[in-house]
């Protein structure tokens, strides 16, 4: 039956199946409908079905609730995409992601769940101690997810594929919470066996489902669009995050042959943009404000130039300021030494610059040239929008926040940047790890 349906008909069928899940919650009916209609479905068609729901007014956060069900319904019928041979090379970000997934899956299936079964049958202290350690190890999955969210998701957004990262990011956040809850339950002196079993199994199930989504949905989609140079930037981002349950992998850079082969690879980017920009418009339209225009403008924004070219030629260019001047090399060195994390977003809400030397929050070079709102998970977009709107309109010149995180005291300022005529140029984010300063007492006036 699959061969007799057009692509549009297949997409409509998929959207219908997802609506059954959403409105009726009837898993068995959705699965039966799927098997009757399709022999095989490509990863892209799953994503286009999600796009159809978004375009019809469904909030991405609601799709998030269906994400695991999607995976289960589609698991046995997803067409296998041919991956780049480079993905199999040790050190390549995809190879690293899959290696981590293999270790995470083994931790869950070969250690945590068997130990849980043993403890439920015979609650001994030694087994509980192992479960506590296994959950502590599992919590390091945060490094894996942070690297994906901050460094890999921007690649999808860069090429207009916004629904999968928005949905996955929300589920990642839920998984972190479920692992935390399971760990907290296990830390009790005498955990309730039923509660412990329920929480550990929920966390384990969602972790393994996310492995499937990453490798069967995210990676094949990126194989179609991401360039070797895109992956090089992901590789360069890795040290900021660290790795989950593996040693740092070997170095990797795309070979000249890979770069040349990719340049010759036939890709209908115009058609790709057409397919996915509809999705961007639907998502942006739900956010309100000026995001629709910003997403449209983003299409014409060239990717940020490599730092290996350009600055060297500008090194001795002298820049005159209101009070004194610096050459380019001096200015660059000073900005890189400042004890803050800096980010500048221009008047069109495009991320243009990262700098400073605080290193508290990781960021990705793949974010440069991206729309600010496209790199945030849905639940935080409204807050970011409000900050930018207040600064753009002149209602405020600065928003400031402070909080404790990971044992550090963090102070963040969002400052409106304006020219001498008062015209809005963008937003400067200044983050300071103020733990040391906050703890200072008395006076120090001598060496």
- For the chain, what is the mean pLDDT? 79
Residue 15 has pLDDT above 60, yes or no: yes
Scanning the structure block, which residue is given the tokens 């250690």?
111
pLDDT at 234: 93
Start-to-end Cα distance in the chain: 82
Tens digits of residue pLDDT in 197-220: 999 999 999 999 899 888 887 888
Percentage of the residues of the chain whose pLDDT score is greater than 90: 39
Residue 269 has pLDDT above 80, yes or no: no
Higher pLDDT, 303 or 21: 21
pLDDT at 135: 96
How would you classify residue 160: left for phi > 0, otherwise alpha for psi between -120 and 50, otherwise beta? Answer: left
Residue 281 has pLDDT above 50, yes or no: no
Residue 89 has pLDDT above 70, yes or no: yes
Residue 289 has pLDDT above 60, yes or no: no
pLDDT at 71: 56
169 and 283 Cβ atoms separated by less than 8 Å: no
Tens digits of residue pLDDT in 223-237: 878 889 999 999 999
Residue 288 has pLDDT above 50, yes or no: no
- Alpha-carbon distance of 378 to 291, in angstroms, equals 13
Scanning the structure block, which residue is given the tokens 């207040």?
390
74-113 residues labelled b (16+ CB within 10 A) or e (exposed): beeebeeeeebebbeeeebbbbbbbbbbeebeebbeebbb
When pLDDT is averaged across residues 79-89 and rounded to a whole number, the result is 72
List the beta bridge partners of residue 427: 345, 416
Please report which confidence band the pLDDT of residue 147 belongs to, taking 50, 70 and 90 as the band edges: very high
Please state which of the ranges 171-175, 420-424, 425-429 shows the lowest mean pLDDT: 171-175
When pLDDT is averaged across residues 254-281 and rounded to a whole number, the result is 65
When pLDDT is averaged across residues 342-357 and rounded to a whole number, the result is 92
The sign of the CA dihedral 276, 281, 286, 287 is: positive
- Alpha-carbon distance of 434 to 404, in angstroms, equals 10
pLDDT at 38: 60
pLDDT at 242: 92
Residue 144 has pLDDT above 90, yes or no: yes
- Alpha-carbon distance of 219 to 209, in angstroms, equals 15
Higher pLDDT, 357 or 314: 357
Residue 56 has pLDDT above 80, yes or no: no
Please report which confidence band the pLDDT of residue 54 belongs to, taking 50, 70 and 90 as the band edges: low
pLDDT at 46: 60
When pLDDT is averaged across residues 129-136 and rounded to a whole number, the result is 95
Please report which confidence band the pLDDT of residue 303 belongs to, taking 50, 70 and 90 as the band edges: very low
Higher pLDDT, 112 or 376: 112
pLDDT at 138: 96
């Amino acid at each position: 039956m699959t061969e007799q349906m057009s692509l549009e008909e297949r997409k409509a069928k998929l959207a219908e199946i997802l609506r059954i899940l959403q409105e009726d919650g009837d898993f068995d009916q959705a699965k039966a409908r799927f098997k009757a209609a399709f022999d095989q479905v490509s990863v892209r068609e799953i994503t286009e079905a999600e796009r159809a729901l978004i375009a019809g007014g469904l909030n991405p956060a609601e799709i998030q609730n269906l994400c695991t069900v999607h995976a289960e319904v589609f698991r046995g019928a997803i067409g296998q995409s041919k991956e780049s041979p480079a993905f199999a090379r040790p050190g390549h970000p995809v190879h690293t992601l899959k290696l981590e997934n293999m270790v995470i899956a083994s931790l869950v299936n070969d250690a945590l769940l068997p130990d849980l079964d043993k403890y439920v049958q015979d609650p001994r202290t030694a087994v509980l101690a192992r479960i506590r350690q296994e959950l502590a190890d599992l919590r390091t999955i945060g490094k894996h997810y942070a690297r994906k969210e901050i460094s890999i998701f921007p690649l999808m957004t860069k090429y207009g594929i916004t629904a999968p990262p928005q949905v996955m990011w929300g589920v990642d956040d839920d998984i972190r919470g479920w692992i935390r809850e399971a760990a907290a339950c296990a830390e009790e002196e005498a955990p309730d066996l039923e509660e412990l079993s329920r929480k550990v199994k929920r966390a384990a199930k969602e972790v393994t489902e996310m492995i499937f989504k990453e490798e069967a949905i995210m990676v094949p989609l990126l194989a179609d669009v991401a360039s070797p140079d895109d992956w090089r930037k992901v590789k360069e981002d890795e040290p900021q995050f660290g790795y989950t349950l593996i040693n740092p992998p070997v170095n990797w850079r795309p070979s000249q042959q890979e770069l040349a082969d990719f340049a010759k690879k036939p890709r209908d980017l115009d058609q790709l943009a057409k397919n996915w920009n509809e999705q961007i418009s639907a998502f942006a339209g739900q956010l309100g404000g000026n995001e629709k225009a910003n997403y449209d403008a983003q299409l014409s924004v060239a990717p940020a130039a490599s730092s290996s070219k350009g600055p060297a030629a500008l090194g001795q260019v002298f820049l005159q300021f209101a009070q004194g001047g610096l050459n380019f090399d001096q200015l660059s060195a000073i900005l890189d030494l400042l004890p803050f994390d800096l980010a500048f977003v221009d008047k069109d809400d495009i991320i243009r610059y990262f700098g400073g030397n605080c290193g508290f929050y990781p960021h990705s070079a793949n974010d440069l040239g991206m729309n600010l709102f496209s790199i945030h998970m849905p639940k935080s977009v409204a807050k970011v929008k409000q900050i930018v709107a207040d600064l753009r309109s002149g209602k405020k010149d600065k928003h400031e926040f402070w909080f404790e995180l990971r044992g550090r005291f963090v102070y963040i300022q969002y400052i409106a940047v304006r020219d001498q005529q008062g015209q809005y140029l963008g937003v400067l984010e200044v983050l300071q790890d103020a733990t040391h300063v906050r703890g200072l007492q008395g006076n120090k006036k001598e060496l």
